[in-house]
Structure 1
């Protein structure tokens, strides 16, 4: 299991109520699951995550299965909501 940082941007930051938080997870799917559990008091958070794209250590995740995206020790996950147009 790796430890690192999740950074939230724009609407994801507002929904999480924080700009960043630590993760302890082996995969992106695991980190996002734990983040959802952490923010159960903020129902908007889970909804916003469904529309986000992700960077892991600067690399776009794209359409890859989140369970297949490994996280490394000291890594960074960037949570990026749509920035232009459309509704979250």
Structure 2
């Protein structure tokens, strides 16, 4: 499941949706196709957490996704 938060949720028009991909790069590419426009721009600034582990600077094609796993899409948050 891909879970969108804050600006990513607004841009996708949904809080969550399933993915059918083996890695994070493929899941995000499919999300960009499903939600062209603002989500494409928002995803460029997001951080990602896969099954509770931050992706950080790892290449998205190297981040394997498990069936039934969760991808959290976190745009930058303002404030402190």
**Fold similarity call, TM over 0.5:** yes
- Say yes or no: does 1:83 pair with 2:52: no
Q: 2:53 aligns with which of 59, 63, 76?
A: 59
5+ unaligned residues in a row in structure 2: which ranges?
Answer: none
Moved over 3 A (4+): none
State the 1:59 CA deviation.
0.3
5+ unaligned residues in a row in structure 1: which ranges?
Answer: none
Structure with bigger strand share is 1
TM-score normalised to structure 2 length? 0.96
RMSD over aligned Cα atoms: 0.7
Q: 2:12 maps to which residue?
A: 16
